[in-house]
């Protein structure tokens, strides 16, 4: 865990996604690694500039789906064959084709819930407090029309004055210090 006091990072605000992506690429070239972009809609190019490609959401979803199909099918088999066997018009107790339908539904139920809650868990949400909200200009733009790059203080390259100088070479609207 990073220290909970002092400076969290420097936050640069841009008008356009192109400026943000350019600045992010340059920051990465300069050696910064601990950084994050904040945008009002998904900017894929920013993720590329951050070299963030892989998410584990599909894996979580797959595991959920496998759990769903197994749970439902085994439950149906156990209930209709052992726990409460009923003779329904002479059909076999183990009527697996009929069991497929609820199993199919639970595959979707479990994998859908895993995808949604897995995404939230991997994102660390809900997290109502975050240092970037302390920046005076962040909430005015980050969810509306402005694009932010935050270079974080935990990065070994980070120095309050040097990083500020680095960020000010880009056409940023502002570069502000973010406190914890």
Burial (CB count <10 Å: 0-12, 13-18, 19+), residue 170: middle
Cβ-based nearer residue to another protein, 1 or 86: 86
Stated as kind and residue range, the H or E segment containing 109 is helix 96-122
* For another protein, the closer CB: 15 or 70: 15
Rounded Cα gap, residues 148 and 34, in angstroms: 14
Can you say whether the dihedral through the CA atoms of 108, 114, 115, 120 is positive or negative? positive
Which residue in 63, 66, 75, 157 binds another protein (CB under 8 A)?
75
Tell me the closest approach of the beta carbon of residue 53 to another protein, in angstroms. Answer: 8
Is 34 or 164 the residue whose CB approaches another protein more closely?
A: 34
Q: Which of residues 81-100 bind another protein (CB under 8 A)?
A: 83-84, 86, 88, 91, 95, 98-99
The reply on whether position 140 binds another protein by CB under 8 A is yes
* Near another protein in 4-63, by CB under 8 A: 15-19, 21-23, 36-47, 50, 52, 55, 57-58, 61
- Helix 57-77, helix 96-122: angle, nearest 10: 150
CB of 129 to another protein, least distance (A): 7
Helix-then-strand count for the chain, H and E: 6, 4
């Amino acid at each position: 865990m990073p220290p909970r006091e002092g400076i969290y990072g420097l936050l640069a605000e841009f008008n356009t996604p192109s400026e943000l992506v350019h600045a992010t690429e340059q920051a990465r070239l300069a050696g910064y690694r601990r950084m994050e972009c904040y945008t009002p809609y998904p900017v894929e190019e920013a993720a590329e500039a951050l070299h963030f490609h892989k998410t584990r959401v599909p894996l979580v979803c797959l595991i959920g789906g496998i759990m769903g199909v197994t749970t439902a099918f085994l439950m149906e088999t156990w209930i209709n064959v052992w726990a409460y066997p009923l003779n329904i018009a002479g059909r076999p107790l183990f009527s697996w084709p009929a069991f497929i339908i609820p199993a199919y539904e639970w595959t979707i139920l479990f994998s859908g819930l895993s995808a949604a809650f897995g995404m939230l868990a991997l994102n660390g949400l809900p997290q109502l407090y975050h240092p970037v909200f302390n920046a005076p200009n962040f909430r005015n733009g980050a969810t509306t029309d402005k694009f932010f790059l935050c270079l974080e203080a935990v990065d070994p390259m980070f120095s309050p004055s040097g990083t500020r100088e680095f960020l000010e070479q880009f056409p940023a609207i502002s570069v502000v210090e973010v406190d914890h």
